[in-house]
Amino acid sequence: MIPRPPLLTAALLTALLVAQASPAVAGEEGPGASSASPVGSGGAAPTPPGFWDRDSLTGDWGGLRGRLQDDGLSLNLVYVGEVFGLTQGGVKRDGVGEGRLEATVELDAQTMLDWHGLLLHATAYGIHGHGLSRCCLQNIATVSDIEALPGARLFTLWAQQALWDGRVSVRLGQLAADDEFVTSRGAALFVNGTFGWQAITGADLPGGGPAFPLATPGARVQVSATPDLSILGAVFSGNPAGTAVGEAQAQDASGTTFSFSGDVLAIAELQYQPLGEGEGQAPSLKLGAWFHGGPFNDEHRAADGVTLADPRSSGVPATRNNDWGVYGVADVPLWHPGEKPDGGLSAFLRLAGAPADRNLIAFYADGGLTWKGVLPGRADDTLGLAAAYARIGSAAAGLDQDYLRYGRPYYPVRDHELLVELSYQAVVAGWATVQPDVQYVIHPGGNVLLPGRTTPVGDGLVLGVRTSVRL
């Protein structure tokens, strides 16, 4: 299927950028670049950066954007557009286009209102198109981290107060856990959604948890115990959909449910990030855990204790009180050429686990390598190779085996889903990137091919390109 005309934005803009942008990147000279040094010996105002070197496509709006920032008000607009095609596997072959306009407003109350340490923030999205995972691949690790139901929605809305010279900050409002928790600077390069909010938390928590595209009311506290060591903790409303039954995104289409139902989700994270020495980045280590205080269905047993696959069972899953999980994150620089502080070769690794009796995914791991400046003269471009592994819990897999024993010979038995992604992000202007991307998904949805049987979802090969523009 050919994407509709509005969804061709990413492809057309990609062609324009590649055709006209020089190999130069931000910070390097190229066609259209201007010297930032003062003109003449009198110290006159510096020449504004050229079209390809400035920070945003629309520039400074005749000085308005700069004046607003000087007054403490910043407005950031970012459009991400992409086209993807499923060329192998899945439930059907198709091509899709989707895009997301992100609008973020921040008010520095210290500058505007003389209120020391107060920051006000709001982010909203305009989403169009549809994603490949939902329509065609039906995998656990969503192909794109911008895939969501189309429409306009509020995302985050919060106030943050810094205390004691910034050693403590408190944030209240509608919050997203994936803004600050379980993050990895190496994983941020990749397009698949699991490299942001991990597939294990997205699959195991009600409504996917407080993460894109749905935030929930909550409170977050960050304490810097030392310059290298900090503690991050937060509590959230436990279900983005509130009391509504059904898919969370559909139940809260505008992002304004502000639900305080669904019990409580608590997350805590210990972060060790030593100050970098010399020109390279320092390692970063994080250890965290989450706890959800609500009821969860057993993945295998009915309330009467027999397998849910048994026709004689009550058909009502047993109830398990509470849920929890643990995780760790490591970002490690491996080689630094000295050109840029974040340049060179780096590695990342994330591990997570949760109880198998009440969760679809019991163990998760992802990791990869990124190389910034891999090509001569392209110091800001980044090449990355990563993999993610999600293992289906023993209870869910055991239920699948029981269905086979009770006369459903073609029922898929799930074991794991494995994803491999290769991506190259090219900085074609100070305000734009183009990112070709390849993903290969093994056992989408955890389905495995059994001898003599067919699986409903074959291994998928995804090809695509993403364009990101700061407006």
How much is the average pLDDT of 332-357? 90
Q: Is 407 left (phi over 0), alpha (psi -120 to 50) or beta?
A: left
For the cut 70, the answer to whether the pLDDT of residue 370 exceeds it is yes
Percent of the chain scoring above 70 in pLDDT: 86
For the cut 50, the answer to whether the pLDDT of residue 465 exceeds it is yes
pLDDT, tens digit, 9 for 90 and up, residues 79-135: 999 999 999 988 888 889 999 999 999 999 888 888 999 999 999 999 999 889 988
- pLDDT at site 134: 86
Stated pTM of the model: 0.86
- Residue 28 confidence class, pLDDT cut points 50, 70, 90: very low
- Residue 3 confidence class, pLDDT cut points 50, 70, 90: very low
Q: Which domain holds residue 153?
A: 5-470
What does the mean pLDDT of the chain come to? 86
We report the CATH number of the domain holding residue 125 as: 2.40.160.180
- pLDDT at site 281: 80
Instruction: For residue 281, give Cα distances in angstroms to 224, 229, 240, 269, 276.
Output: 19, 16, 36, 21, 5
- Residue 51 confidence class, pLDDT cut points 50, 70, 90: confident
Which of 42-51, 80-89, 246-255 ranks highest by mean pLDDT? 80-89
Domains: count for the chain: 1
pLDDT, tens digit, 9 for 90 and up, residues 405-448: 887 766 778 899 999 999 999 999 999 999 999 999 999 998 86
- pLDDT at site 342: 80
For the cut 70, the answer to whether the pLDDT of residue 204 exceeds it is yes
- pLDDT at site 247: 78
How much is the average pLDDT of 254-283? 84
